[in-house]
Amino acid sequence: MPTHPAFDRAPYQRALEAIVLRAGTDARGYFAVLDDTILYPEGGGQPADRGLLGATKVLEVQQQEGELRHYTTEPVLPGPVHVVLDWPRRFDHMQQHTGQHLLTAVAHARFGWETTAFHLGEARCDIELRTDAIGPAAMALLEDSVAEEIRAARSVRVRHVTAEEYASMQVRSRGLPEGHMGEVRLVEIAGLDLNTCGGTHVRSTAELELVKLLGTEPIRGGTRLFFVVGSRARLRMGEHEGRNATLRALLGAPDEELVAGVETKIEQLKAGERRNRGLEEALADALAGAWAADPDRVQDHHLEGQDGAFLGRVARTLVSAAPGKLVFLTAERDGQAAFVLAAGPAAGVDLVALGATVTALLEGRGGGRAPIFQGKVGSLKGRARASEAVRRSG
């Protein structure tokens, strides 16, 4: 492997003729070691590249035991191989990573906020800043300042310096890796930032297109700032526009009234739910009253379209009004079935033992103690036998 692999020398190169020096397996799976590679290994907050070795997919690239291992879906034979980079994914990473450098540099220059961590995620990125909070005005100023540097089309370049040169330079860095030897890799945004970094980057801030700040959250005494860059920002805007179009059609409202329209619908739903609860409670009380007046000591009923909570209210109200009653209720709603057993203090029933019998017959799960034993039903096929068991005990 050259001192500077192809992903370092030529980050825009999309294909390479290489040699598989050796292949093997480890805890991660099949891997191949090449004499050179355009595929970036995971590190510095940037995910590994993906691509192809011939026709075989590369899932990830990792630094392992002093070598770059390309982990593949199947074994690769030693010898010549055509390496192809998943370029859209790589360019996205280059935009996000360079965007982070720019955002970090501007945040420090404008506000004195130090970046303590960076994460390049699948859908969005984030940096952790050493500040208690970022208000709306500061967020807007930060985003505007970053946009200004994008319009300035500042060049972005990579260079390697000796340890002695590095020691004499003003470089933004959280420190070199422990045990680092040899050259130091620097990434420079002309006139703005000089930083130690091993990642891949675009050639100009103009290639970032835009940086959109998404929001913040407190973390470890600082603030995590979420953002997207370039093609991700455009994709995100397209998704938002698609959702807005659907909402406009559903609510019959323009964009500026969508939030108010959703809030109104939510309030209407809540009001409807409150009315439904009131009606269900009235229905439960009416059923309990009617069954309490029924001369049959055992009340055995199946209620379609109800749930366990409704059954519980009916049963409690019933045995409270008629302490000598034994109650067996089942219900099914949306494919979910439930049961309740209830016995008043004058019923003289071992409710726990009866509950265990009914639970087994219904292939369900349940539990409780007097006056209520309730649970979920696995199958209502055993309901008739469960009803017989209840009536025998009553």
Q: State the average pLDDT over residues 151-175.
A: 87
pLDDT at 181 over 80: no
Helices (H), the chain: 6-9, 87-111, 136-151, 163-167, 231-251, 258-293, 308-321, 351-361, 383-393
Let me know if residue 115 belongs to a domain. Answer: yes
pLDDT at 178 over 80: no
d(CA 4, CA 10): 10
Q: For residue range 49-65, what is the model confidence (pLDDT) as tens digits?
A: 999 999 999 999 999 98
pLDDT band at residue 19 under the 50/70/90 scheme: very high
d(CA 108, CA 105): 5
Mark which of 209, 237, 265 sits at the end of a domain: 237
Residues 220 and 345 in one domain: no
Let me know if residue 197 belongs to a domain. Answer: yes
Q: For residue range 337-392, what is the model confidence (pLDDT) as tens digits?
A: 999 999 999 999 999 999 999 999 999 999 998 899 999 999 999 999 999 999 99
Domain count within the chain:
3
* CA proximity to 335, closest of 311, 307, 361, 358: 307
Q: Which residues pair with 198 in a beta bridge?
A: none
Residues 43 and 99 in one domain: no
pLDDT band at residue 177 under the 50/70/90 scheme: low
Q: Within a 10 A sphere around the Cβ of 273, how many other Cβ atoms?
A: 10
Domain that holds residue 309: 274-393
Mark which of 85, 119, 136 sits at the end of a domain: 85
Residues 76 and 40 in one domain: yes
Mark which of 57, 85, 113 sits at the end of a domain: 85
Q: State the average pLDDT over residues 100-129.
A: 96
d(CA 115, CA 101): 10
Say what percent of the chain tops pLDDT 90: 90
Let me know if residue 141 belongs to a domain. Answer: yes
Answer for the pair 318, 292: CB distance below 8 angstroms, yes or no.
Answer: yes
For the chain, helix, strand, coil in percent to 5 are 40, 30, 30
pLDDT at 174 over 70: no
Q: For residue range 327-340, what is the model confidence (pLDDT) as tens digits?
A: 999 999 999 999 99
Residues 95 and 81 in one domain: no
Between 81 and 221, the more confident residue is 81
